């Protein structure tokens, strides 16, 4: 079967990735020589990242969804997006791709989860919710239990907020009144995937040869580069969040954008992955069709946390690398003058930072 599939140039990225079509013969990967394995994997990922999927049926599919669900919320991810890295895969790290079209996909459950967390933060309920979930035998958030705990404590205001969130998100006792659909990649002229690299340090601390032989992490061990696929920086996605009450649409839209800006979605959000901004059909932030949403301004970051870091750049996106190894997306790169490697100070909100000037 592998030989039959490998002959034509399969453009379904999911099939190629899941069945590792491109490492030929497969013995290249299973060889005893570790270097041969690394070279075969790197070559496979590089070739796959250069392919564009066959979108012949994808456009009509998106059009059908627009007719059925209404206009989507279109956002742009200026940095990489890593969804599904924890999925089991022959090449160590997975990636979430659409089962039918092979295009990048963000499951609706992930969208719902990040929106719920942002809502809990905005309502001041995050700590209460985390404590309640830990006390729950199933270790999940049950709004009914949380509301009872808040009322027993005499905090009726928070109990009312929790009840409102239960109406939106539901709980084990019943579904909520909002449907969070899968977010779908918006096709453009560029391949949707890119090759990324992780450099884990201190392997003997995390994976000691013996439990008694576990040296403290001191950054003297050589890093071990691990390459994997991510969604290419600059990609756009359609999000559909459909409430039972139309009056909720604007609030849910604002909640989604706030969650993507402040928390990000997917893996590695602490280093700047998965943060998004509003985008119009042109693909540019605040472009035509963005419904009046303005690009971020200095005023938006007036209450941000002061931070200092080193300026870095990946493709057309600038980042501020902080001493705590966090990579924050720079929203006003013109203030940096392309001085890569120089230190700057700024104000941080979530995974984004407004640069004030040199440190």
Cβ contacts of 337 within 8 Å, gap of 6 or more: none
Does residue 208 sit in the same domain as residue 243?
yes
pLDDT band at 31 (very low <50, low <70, confident <90, very high): low
pLDDT digits (tens, 9 = 90+) for 288-325: 333 434 567 888 788 778 889 999 887 667 888 887 65
**What is the count of structural domains for the chain?**
3
Domain boundary among 229, 248, 278: 278
Residue 117 lies in a domain: no
CA neighbours within 13 Å on the CB side: how many for 149?
18
Residue 237 lies in a domain: yes
Instruction: Give yes or no for residue 130 having a pLDDT over 90.
Output: yes
- The stretch 319-348 carries a mean pLDDT of 83
Does residue 99 sit in the same domain as residue 209?
yes
Does residue 313 sit in the same domain as residue 347?
yes
Residue 285 lies in a domain: no
Residue 51 lies in a domain: yes
Residue 290 lies in a domain: no
Structure tokens at 12: 């379904």
**Higher pLDDT pick, 139 / 201:** 139
Does residue 133 sit in the same domain as residue 60?
no
Does residue 213 sit in the same domain as residue 253?
yes
Residue 289 lies in a domain: no
Angle at 83 between CA 61 and CA 254, to 5 degrees: 70
Does residue 323 sit in the same domain as residue 186?
no
pLDDT digits (tens, 9 = 90+) for 271-289: 889 988 877 554 444 433 3
Does residue 133 sit in the same domain as residue 31?
no
Per-residue pLDDT at 70: 92
Does residue 218 sit in the same domain as residue 332?
no
Residue 152 lies in a domain: yes
Domain boundary among 137, 161, 176: 176
Q: Please report, for the domain that includes residue 343, its CATH number.
A: 2.40.50.140
Does residue 44 sit in the same domain as residue 93?
yes
Q: Highest-confidence range of 15-19, 119-123, 178-182, by mean pLDDT? A: 178-182
Which domain, by its residues, includes 340? Answer: 299-358
Does residue 203 sit in the same domain as residue 333?
no
Does residue 186 sit in the same domain as residue 250?
yes
E-assigned strands of the chain? 73-77, 105-106, 170-171, 174-175, 178-180, 183-185, 193-198, 226-231, 235-239, 241-243, 277-278, 305-314, 317-321, 327-330, 343-349, 352-358
Does residue 152 sit in the same domain as residue 192?
no
């Amino acid at each position: 079967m592998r030989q039959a599939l490998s002959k034509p140039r399969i453009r379904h990225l999911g099939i190629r990735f899941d069945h590792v079509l491109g490492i030929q013969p497969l013995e290249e990967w299973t060889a005893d020589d570790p270097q041969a394995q690394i070279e075969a994997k790197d070559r496979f990922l590089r070739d796959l990242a250069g392919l564009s999927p066959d979108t012949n049926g994808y456009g009509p599919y998106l059009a059908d969804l627009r007719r059925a669900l209404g206009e989507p919320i279109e956002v742009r991810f200026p940095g990489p997006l890593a969804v599904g890295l924890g999925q089991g895969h022959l090449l160590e790290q997975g990636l979430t791709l659409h089962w039918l079209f092979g295009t990048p996909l963000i499951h609706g459950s992930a969208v719902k989860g990040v929106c719920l967390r942002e809502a809990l933060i905005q309502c001041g309920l995050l700590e209460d919710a985390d404590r309640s979930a830990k006390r729950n035998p199933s270790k999940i958030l049950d709004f009914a239990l949380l509301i009872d705990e808040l009322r027993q404590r005499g905090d009726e205001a928070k109990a009312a907020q929790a009840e409102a969130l239960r109406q939106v998100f539901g709980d084990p006792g019943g579904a909520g009144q909002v449907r969070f659909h899968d977010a779908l990649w918006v096709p453009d002229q560029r391949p949707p995937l890119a090759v990324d690299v992780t450099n884990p340090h201190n392997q003997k601390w995390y994976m000691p040869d013996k439990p008694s032989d576990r040296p403290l992490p001191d950054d003297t061990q050589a890093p071990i580069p691990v390459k994997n696929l991510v969604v290419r920086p600059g990609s756009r996605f359609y999000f559909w969040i459909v409430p039972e009450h139309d009056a909720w649409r604007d609030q849910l839209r604002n909640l989604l954008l706030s969650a993507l800006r402040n928390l990000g979605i997917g893996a590695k959000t602490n280093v700047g992955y998965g943060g998004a901004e509003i985008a119009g059909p042109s693909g540019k932030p605040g472009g035509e069709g963005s419904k009046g949403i303005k690009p971020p301004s200095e005023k938006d970051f007036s209450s941000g946390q002061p931070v200092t870091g080193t300026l870095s750049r990946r493709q057309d996106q600038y980042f501020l690398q902080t001493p705590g190894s966090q990579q924050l997306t720079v929203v006003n790169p013109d203030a940096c003058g392309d001085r890569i490697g120089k230190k700057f100070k700024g104000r941080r909100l979530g995974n984004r930072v407004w640069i004030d000037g040199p440190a």
